[in-house]
Structure 1
Amino acid sequence: MISIKDFTAKATEFYVIKRNRKKEKFDINKLAKSLINSGVNYNDLDQIISEVTTKIYNGISTDELKDIVYNVLKKIDKDVAENYRRGVILKVRTSEKEFEPFNKEKIVKALIREAGADKETAQKIADEVERELKKLKVKYLTAPMIREIVNYKLIEYGFEDLRHKHTRLGMPVYDITKLIKSGSRENANLMYNPESIHKWVADETMKQYALLAIFPKHIADAHIKGDIHLHDLEYGATRPVCLQHDLRPFFKYGLKVDGTGLHTSVSKPAKHPEVAIQHAAKVMMASQTNMSGGQSIDEFNVWLAPYVRGLSYERIKQLMQMFIYELNQMYVARGGQVIFSSINCELEIPEFLKDKPAVVAGTTRGTYEEYEEEARLILEALVDVMMEGDAMGKPFLFPNFIIKLRENAFKDENKELMYKIHKLSAKFGTPYFINMLPEWQEVNTNAMGCRTRLTSNWTGNPEIDTLRTGNMQWYTLNLPRIAYEADGDDDRLFEILEERLELLKEALLIKHEITLERLYVDGLMPFLTQKFDGEPYYRYDNTTKTFGFVGLNEMLKYHLGEELHDSKEAVKFGERVIGFIREYADKLKEETGLRFTVTQTPAESTAGRFARLDYKYYKNQAETVVRGDLNDVETLYYTNSSHVRVDAPITLGEKVKIEEKFHPLCNGGHIMHVWNIESAADPDVLMNITRKITKTDIGFWTYTKNLSVCNKCGASAGGLRDRCVNCGSEDVAKFSRITGYLQNISNWNKAKQKELEDRRLPKI
């Protein structure tokens, strides 16, 4: 048999007669390329070319040459022979939307580069994939199709680790179509619009990435099974959660919304109150693009007080109206949302700020103690604006409006303003209250989002501990499942609890290291890392890393046979469980120097997810305690955190006595909800309740009034109504507080809608 090398040396003597009768030198490389594109195995190439070359002669026609090649191929691989006769070439549609011939060397290079395979393994897999592709009768291949076959071969040969690294992320066409047509209800604050569709698709890819590339398999599996919940997985690789802002650096040095001034216009320090208001909104807007959770301004009315000196009350009210509308109409947050915003306000200038220089227009003018009257007017104006609602009479959904109640809250000088605040509670249920009177609340405490809490017990400096920092991340324990697995054994219950805490600790430390890298190595969040007076704006070292939990009530019901409202013994055991988590966090704080805390998880979707998974995997146990309709698993839910269940047959006083036990333990965030106050929406009644609550250990609470607003005539009425009380229209929007913020209930998931149906007002 003549060798290819020998034939190549003589190839200049051979001519092929083309169909147009022109002569062309025979090119063995052209023949080889044609054979490869038809799907010939590289190992068969020499044999085929050698046999073909023994049959050709000088002056052969192209048709005769093709017949010879076809007949030779037919003896080796009929499918390839047919590909050659039809002129079929294996083409690949690439991610750049181009077509190119299949080249198995690209598989080899990808396996080495992406998965860390050795050359021999990569070549073996590529050869196998090529053989599989030749059997396919398709017009063209796609890169995802080839990758799927590569991954299949990796699994077939036992290379699971390589497959894990080489896999492709994304969503099925069906799921994307479903999102386009009907959206998602995982987050009630996320409206159905083109931006949210893009976010949902991107989120799914990033969630898959986090579970494959960020967290080790045992943590990812624990999340998928429902032992734990890793919140904000879509941002696990890129962002921290929430931030409590201080406006003074921006009022002193100006505003760079990109953090550098290289990509956007730079503002000088605000000289006029209108500009200061806009800057306050833009600070939260800019930070929201760097973070996954809520944006809050602590001491909001204090920072703005110097800017409104000398203005009439009507002018101040107009400024506050502008601010509120900015936050409710800027669709700039992730996926076309408004900013998930909060503001913390003071009735008086707090002691720790009285002697601090008042920053205004790039300079300072006296101290904040001198602006107490202006701060009070700002707070009153905010109350009045929120009392009026929007142009249709609906409540403003943002910002979460938080009032700090310090020692003088109920003094005569604050009586009128306090009454107004409770009048707003009676009308819309808008305000939240922080009880600053217990000693464990420290010098300063603030809240943001659904309940995330910072207090001045980290370094002892209230500004360092509570301003320009926030929650890095919280991850959550499934408490009822621990009870199912412990099966009545106290010792085993706490062993499992510690094992699950170890998982959360590992996950939080991974997120901590990743966030450090994104902030200070990759420079991904320049707004947060921009410097003022040589210090980064974001005090990342002071952020909280937080253990959350869901379903304490159901854990107790299964483990003890009693719920929180049933007995003092149940409450004491609940304290023991949450106390164990707090002790674990405190010990970890000492060991690592990081700010580990405990929070009552809001669980907008997690309370339902845990219940559904437990009903699937622990059905016999779960069906005895899970809440919702067993005939519709989508409605199943657990009670949030350490709350008593929403329809517990107790008085408000009894509810307070139970839930106050857990607020000092949950130093990373807590809340008490007083649901469905529309039947008792009297400002005097609510104000009296507030006075009593401040004498307890309840640290943070809100009164929730359900509300129905007619989309036709704009009339609003308390309660969840199917028909307008004014015009009779059935086109009615219904609002309530889902976990920590007001939203239209049509956007809620079915589990939270079922919880809403179950809620009742304890006897007052």
Structure 2
Amino acid sequence: MIDMIKKRDGRIIPFNSEKITRAIYLAASEAAKKEGRTADYSVAEALTDDAIAFINKKFAGQVPTVEEVQDAVVRTLIKTGHAKTSEIYILYRAERTRIRDSKNRLMQDIHNITFLDSEDADIKRENANIDGNTPMGIMLQYGSAVSKEFCKKFVIKPEHAMAHERGDIHIHDMDFLNMGTTTCCQIDISKLFDGGFSTGHGFLREPNDVLSYAALAAIAIQANQNDQHGGQSIPKFDYDMAKGVMKSFQKRLKENISKFAEIELELSDGELDEFVDSVIAQYGAIRSIEFSSEEREKLSKCIEGAIAGRLEACTGEAAAISRKMAEFALNRSLKEVDKQTYQAMEAFVHNLNTMHSRAGAQVPFSSINFGTDMTPEGRLVSKNLMLAQEHGLGNGETPIFPILIFKVKDGINLSETDPNYDLFKLACRVSSKRLFPNFSFLDAPFNKPYYQKGKPETEVTYMGCRTRVMGNIFGEEVATGRGNISFSSMNLPRIGLNHGIILGERTEPDMEGFYRELDEKIELTVNQLVERFEIQGSKRVKNFPFLMGQGAWIHSDELGPDDKIRDVIKHGSLTIGFIGLAETLTALIGEHHGESERAQKLGLEIVEHMRKRADEACQKHSLNFALIATPAEGLSGRFLNIDKKQYGVIDGVTDKEYYTNSFHIPVGYKLSAYDKIGKEAPYHEFTNGGHISYVELDGDPSDNLEAFESIVKHMATTGIGYGSINHPVDRCPSCGYTGIIRDVCPECGIIEGQNGIRFERIRRITGYLVGTVDRFNDAKKSEVKDRVKHV
């Protein structure tokens, strides 16, 4: 008779038949409940006896393992006609196995986080914006590891957890799922600043100059990121900061009129204030920092009128003094506000690269959209923001954040006759040196319909990672106050492997089977996103004191602290993502879309199909579903590693350390920059949840700005929505030289490795810059190594 059993950890303990009976009874009870009857415990006892009899016969003189005993129970249930009970028992057994594996995986992850250096542990480099070696970075990773396993075990449905673990789908930011946070937000700074706002640790008054505007904008980004798991964007930065420029100019103008009057008129402090107030009152509202000749004459006359009662001199003398005072005040004020705006933008860039968020482990992930404000104030903001980016940080480092995004629009800044064309040329110059700005294109066919002249909130903007949120089935189709709620991505190459020719199982791809399985995965992803949305929607305003409490999210200012947020977050997007279109096509037909028109046609058909399913999900669930070309940082390696174990190494599919980003042409495939843009441009129309295309240049592109500008203009004409140009940016920490460095610094002559010097190799990965190459995970390091230059 069996009296001992071997546990999975190797321990041998007394055998307890009651555990088998209890498990059979619970499974039978669930099966009986579905049929409207009750289970009989004595039947479970009899089945246990049958199972033990089989075990005694098969394992006579041995100690069976837990798995062998469970196999015997399943055999007994099936053999005795209890098929439905066996199905439930098998599912229960699988779930228990999953939970055990989860615990083991969690302990292994915690071990690696604790004892391994980030150079040796990919888990500590999943997010290149987090230093995995710092105490707060390690603490964040502890919390992330525990939270992920908790969500998979207790929060989400088992089928969603299993699909994630198998690598059919990837639930992004799962560690934040149970907390109900949303991904990102496009903040309306003007609305936030109106009347002031609170960070939760103190109330900040409405700013009154451009320095304060810039400082509070950085604080707002930092505060809002603490309420979300993604990044923050300011969609109309130049328009918002222009108000601060005007306030600064008005203050400077008063001060400079006062300075001149103090010398020329010898007035007391009280008289000076009265005099300046009189001049401004006569002039009326100041509408621009740039005065026309007529406006300058008007200011002179107002000064003359204020002087007239204070000088016994003739009118001619008063007029001369007035003109000198007006010219002095205007010219000096404009010069000073230009300088102050640069200081404000420089401080803004420095703040966002040094201030901490999320327990101090990373800087705020921030994106700034600008370039279309044609007022002198807005132009001053755009110019000085880019000059601050070009100058770099204190030791010449390339700023990681904010991600600058220059909005390109014909009639505003794309043609030589456009008023902001000089800003476009500056954007190209700065990007050629510092990788940013990226470029968004308001005239792309899918962006242009939203544009309303004079309403910057209708200009389509992008997050640095590529997220785009504009369409809205619930009302306002604006950028401000909205963002992505959450997104999950599908393993597209796996579906291609299952139905393509690459495995040698068929000579033609099974496209019917491919689309059938793709639809199943889309439906699974949609249901998982809806499940997560309901968790998010059940949270209350008070759970997000800044995002909702300060009205950063659209319509949240209409709710009270205890109100649930479902009816306001629905204005955001739920996005279905995908990765590895190139590998999918190779698996299906043996070539990717860079290699043939046949593959390109099929690729567009597949992506269009996914977009149609996303649109259908909008109608079915009354939510803003969209298709996103996934920004895959850690995911590209995760899916690949899972599939490599299952399918082995397959040329063109699993033979690298990563899957190709979204719909991109493989990074190692040689073609021209213009051809790459032309191949990828059509996919932007279908990926309404976000997209980006970029090309790789060699050498220093600032040496040929005409070529750089022509590439950006080509993006505009081909229908790209969001694009960027990648190129090497190296920095010598010894002398601060920034440019192209091989093995020897061209400035100071130091050799890499000499005196422990390591040159910084700044590279962009998924469309946004996240630091030096050594901070990338293994898959992304491999991708950077494989990239060819597009000439």
> TM above 0.5, one fold?
yes
Give 1:337's aligned residue. Answer: 362
SS of the residue corresponding to residue 587 of structure 1 reads helix
Separation of aligned partners in 1, 2:337 and 2:72 = 77
2:232 maps to 1:232: no
Counterpart AA for 2:209: H
Q: Does the aligned pair in 2 maintain the 1:723–1:732 contact within 8 Å?
A: no
Give 2:333's aligned residue. Answer: none
Encode CA deviations 1:705-762: one digit per residue, 9 max, x unaligned.
Answer: 211111222222226x344233323121111001122211110111111111111222
The unaligned stretches of length 5 or more in structure 2 are: 1-29, 31-40, 42-68, 74-88, 250-335, 452-458, 501-508, 753-757
SS of the residue corresponding to residue 739 of structure 1 reads coil
Please list, as runs of the form range in 1=range in 2, the aligned pairs for 1:636-655 lying within 5 A after superposition: 636-655=657-676
Which deviates more from structure 2 when the two are superposed, residues 313-322 or residues 680-689? Answer: 680-689
Counterpart AA for 1:275: S
Give 1:530's aligned residue. Answer: 549
Separation of aligned partners in 1, 2:391 and 2:661 = 32
SS of the residue corresponding to residue 603 of structure 2 reads helix
Q: Does the aligned pair in 2 maintain the 1:551–1:640 contact within 8 Å?
A: yes
The unaligned stretches of length 5 or more in structure 1 are: 1-115, 122-152, 259-263, 350-371, 629-635
2:691 maps to 1:750: no
Give 1:256's aligned residue. Answer: 198
Please list, as runs of the form range in 1=range in 2, the aligned pairs for 1:62-81 lying within 5 A after superposition: none
Please list, as runs of the form range in 1=range in 2, the aligned pairs for 1:210-249 lying within 5 A after superposition: 210-238=151-179, 239-249=181-191
Encode CA deviations 1:208-266: one digit per residue, 9 max, x unaligned.
Answer: 011112221121111111111111111111111111110122211311113xxxxx211
Aligned to 2:218, which of 266, 277, 281? 281
Give 2:482's aligned residue. Answer: 469
Structure 1 residues 347, 718: CA separation in 2 closer, same or farther (over 3 Å shift)?
farther
Please list, as runs of the form range in 1=range in 2, the aligned pairs for 1:81-100 lying within 5 A after superposition: none
Q: Does the aligned pair in 2 maintain the 1:578–1:665 contact within 8 Å?
A: yes
Separation of aligned partners in 2, 1:253 and 1:536 = 18
Which deviates more from structure 2 when the two are superposed, residues 721-730 or residues 297-306? Answer: 721-730
2:396 maps to 1:393: yes
Give 1:568's aligned residue. Answer: 597
Encode CA deviations 1:604-627: one digit per residue, 9 max, x unaligned.
Answer: 11111111111101115x444234
Structure 1 residues 417, 481: CA separation in 2 closer, same or farther (over 3 Å shift)?
same
Separation of aligned partners in 1, 2:99 and 2:714 = 60
Please list, as runs of the form range in 1=range in 2, the aligned pairs for 1:460-609 lying within 5 A after superposition: 461-462=476-477, 465-487=478-500, 488-520=509-541, 523-530=542-549, 534-535=557-558, 539-609=568-638
Aligned to 2:431, which of 422, 425, 432? 425
Separation of aligned partners in 2, 1:739 and 1:624 = 21
Q: Does the aligned pair in 2 maintain the 1:426–1:677 contact within 8 Å?
A: no
Q: Does the aligned pair in 2 maintain the 1:456–1:466 contact within 8 Å?
A: no
2:373 maps to 1:348: yes
TM-score by length of 2: 0.69
SS of the residue corresponding to residue 686 of structure 2 reads coil
Encode CA deviations 1:648-676: one digit per residue, 9 max, x unaligned.
Answer: 22112211121011001000000011123
Give 1:735's aligned residue. Answer: 762
Residue 179 of structure 1 and its aligned partner are, at CA, apart by: 4.6
Residue 273 of structure 1 and its aligned partner are, at CA, apart by: 2.6
Residue 420 of structure 1 and its aligned partner are, at CA, apart by: 1.3
SS of the residue corresponding to residue 739 of structure 2 reads strand
Q: Does the aligned pair in 1 maintain the 2:696–2:727 contact within 8 Å?
A: yes
Residue 459 of structure 1 and its aligned partner are, at CA, apart by: 5.3
SS of the residue corresponding to residue 244 of structure 2 reads helix
Separation of aligned partners in 1, 2:534 and 2:192 = 29
Give 1:187's aligned residue. Answer: 127
Give 1:308's aligned residue. Answer: 245
Give 2:708's aligned residue. Answer: 686
Encode CA deviations 1:70-126: one digit per residue, 9 max, x unaligned.
Answer: xxxxxxxxxxxxxxxxxxxxxxxxxxxxxxxxxxxxxxxxxxxxxx9xxxx9xxxxx
Structure 1 residues 165, 666: CA separation in 2 closer, same or farther (over 3 Å shift)?
closer
Structure 1 residues 677, 474: CA separation in 2 closer, same or farther (over 3 Å shift)?
farther
Separation of aligned partners in 2, 1:335 and 1:161 = 40
Separation of aligned partners in 1, 2:410 and 2:151 = 46
Residue 347 of structure 1 and its aligned partner are, at CA, apart by: 2.8
When Rg is computed on C-alpha atoms for both structures, the one with the higher figure is 1
Q: Does the aligned pair in 1 maintain the 2:379–2:420 contact within 8 Å?
A: no
Kindly indicate which of the two structures has a greater share of residues assigned to strand: 1
Residue 162 of structure 1 and its aligned partner are, at CA, apart by: 9.8
Separation of aligned partners in 1, 2:219 and 2:473 = 29
Separation of aligned partners in 2, 1:680 and 1:385 = 19
Residue 161 of structure 1 and its aligned partner are, at CA, apart by: 9.7
Q: Does the aligned pair in 1 maintain the 2:490–2:577 contact within 8 Å?
A: yes
Residue 679 of structure 1 and its aligned partner are, at CA, apart by: 4.9
Counterpart AA for 1:425: S
Q: Does the aligned pair in 1 maintain the 2:700–2:728 contact within 8 Å?
A: no
TM-score by length of 1: 0.71
Q: Does the aligned pair in 2 maintain the 1:171–1:205 contact within 8 Å?
A: no
Which deviates more from structure 2 when the two are superposed, residues 610-619 or residues 680-689? Answer: 680-689
Separation of aligned partners in 1, 2:625 and 2:381 = 35
Counterpart AA for 2:606: V
Separation of aligned partners in 2, 1:761 and 1:468 = 38
Counterpart AA for 1:385: A
2:405 maps to 1:402: yes
Say how many residue pairs are matched: 579
Counterpart AA for 2:653: V
Please list, as runs of the form range in 1=range in 2, the aligned pairs for 1:607-646 lying within 5 A after superposition: 607-619=636-648, 622-628=650-656, 636-646=657-667
CA RMSD of aligned residues (A): 3.0
Please list, as runs of the form range in 1=range in 2, the aligned pairs for 1:161-200 lying within 5 A after superposition: 171-172=107-108, 174-179=111-116, 184-191=124-131, 192-200=133-141
Please list, as runs of the form range in 1=range in 2, the aligned pairs for 1:366-377 lying within 5 A after superposition: 372-377=375-380
Structure 1 residues 165, 744: CA separation in 2 closer, same or farther (over 3 Å shift)?
closer
Separation of aligned partners in 2, 1:755 and 1:337 = 24
Q: Does the aligned pair in 1 maintain the 2:473–2:623 contact within 8 Å?
A: no
Give 1:452's aligned residue. Answer: 467
Residue 312 of structure 1 and its aligned partner are, at CA, apart by: 2.2
Q: Percent identity?
A: 29
SS of the residue corresponding to residue 237 of structure 1 reads helix
SS of the residue corresponding to residue 678 of structure 1 reads coil
Separation of aligned partners in 2, 1:760 and 1:181 = 27
Give 2:694's aligned residue. Answer: 673
Which deviates more from structure 2 when the two are superposed, residues 578-587 or residues 736-745? Answer: 736-745
Residue 321 of structure 1 and its aligned partner are, at CA, apart by: 0.5
Separation of aligned partners in 2, 1:506 and 1:225 = 17
